[in-house]
Amino acid sequence: MGEYYDIIVVGAGPAGLTAALYGLRAGKSVLVLEASGYGGQIVNADKLENYPGIDMISGFDFATNLYNQVKKLGGVVKYREVLKIDEDKTVHTARESFRAAAVIIATGARNRELGLARERELVGRGVSYCATCDGNFFKGRTVAVVGGGNTALEDAVYLSDVAEKVYLIHRRDTFRGEMGYVKELEEKDNVEFILNSTVKALNGDIMLKSIDIDDGKGQISTLPVDGLFVAVGREPVSRCFANVVRLDDAGYIMAGDDVHTGTPGIYVAGDVRVKELRQLVTAVSDGSIAAMTAVREMKPQDN
């Protein structure tokens, strides 16, 4: 049958941990299931300067404070990947299953991969998805950033102050990100744009040594680089819940009234849901609303 909790939260990012915090403060038993480490994407933010009421804090410290709040109130956090949720709110992991009166899905979004051979194998060996986390390993070296959105542009700006040379590779000739960043990069001597081009292969035995680039006209050239920063957007972690929630074309969970999935007792919070603004402040807002809605809608027999 599996252990029973009033609320199971799937995902220990800011949305999930806030949901847990509010559920616990309402007197409910709460289990948080997390596939990797707590904190979600925010742990990669070097400095948070736009969270109301806090002048500046690192993403890691913010997440740790929130995690400790949950633990202090008796929240149970288990590191398990959730494989499936049943309509009756049984939550399955590879090792065991759990039951709950309410389930809050807060699995967030993860970095999109390029989908190249050896991409995963070379993570930490030259390939990275986080310039602020790994940029310092490339002091005085040559790196490339792939992507044309604000993340890629910001990463290129950040890396231009660390690395000796930065290539910015984008598949089109115009950027999706802000012109201000583009102008800033154009003025830097150590930044070179490689436009209308895609990365086709990653080369190197143990460490990344070079990348093959397709110029879109059939010409492939090899560019020696020590690091490749992939910044081609994010995708929601939602596919395995498609049996109990509805997904939009991009895979985000459709939410009525912000947190209702359409399946009674199953709610959604944070970056994994369809929403206008994916920010820390909206993630924690979702978490609190999802938990309070779950508590309000819990039937007496659920307790």
Residues that bind ligand NAP (CB under 6 A): 112, 114, 146-152, 154, 171-172, 176, 198, 231-234
CB nearer to ligand NAP: pick between 12 and 228:
228
Shortest distance, CB of residue 224 to ligand NAP, whole angstroms?
Answer: 20
For residue 77, give both structure tokens: 């956090």
Backbone angles phi, psi at 255, to 5 degrees: -125, 125
Task: Report, in Å, the least distance between residue 178 CB and ligand NAP.
Answer: 7
**Shortest Å, Cβ 218 to ligand NAP:** 18
Q: What is the distance between the alpha carbons of residues 169 and 208, in angstroms, rounded to a whole number?
A: 17
Distance CA 298, CA 293 (A): 8
**Is 214 an active-site residue?**
no
- Catalytic position from the list 6, 61, 86, 134: 134
- Cβ closer to ligand NAP: 90 or 279? 279
Q: Give me the least distance between CB of 129 and ligand NAP, in Å please.
A: 10
Q: Closest-CB residue for ligand NAP? A: 149
Q: Is 130 a catalytic residue?
A: yes
Nearer to ligand NAP, 114 or 240 (CB): 114
CB atoms near residue 218 (< 10 Å) = 6
- Any alpha helices (H) in the chain, and if so which ranges? 14-25, 59-72, 131-134, 150-160, 179-186, 280-297
Which among 6, 130, 271, 286 is annotated as catalytic? 130
Whose Cβ is closer to ligand NAP: residue 4's or residue 193's?
Answer: 193
Active-site option among 61, 86, 133, 212 = 133
For 144, 220, 242, the CA distances from 149, given in Å and listed in that order, are 15, 24, 28
Q: Which is nearer to ligand NAP, 6 or 134 (CB)?
A: 134
Contact in structure between 223 and 94 (CB atoms under 8 Å): no
Residue with tokens 């959604």: 268
Non-local CB neighbours of 296 within 8 Å, separated by 6+ positions = none
3-class SS of residue 39: coil
CA distances from 216 to 119, 198, 212, 232 (A): 21, 7, 12, 18
**Shortest Å, Cβ 94 to ligand NAP:** 29
The catalytic residue positions are 130, 133-134
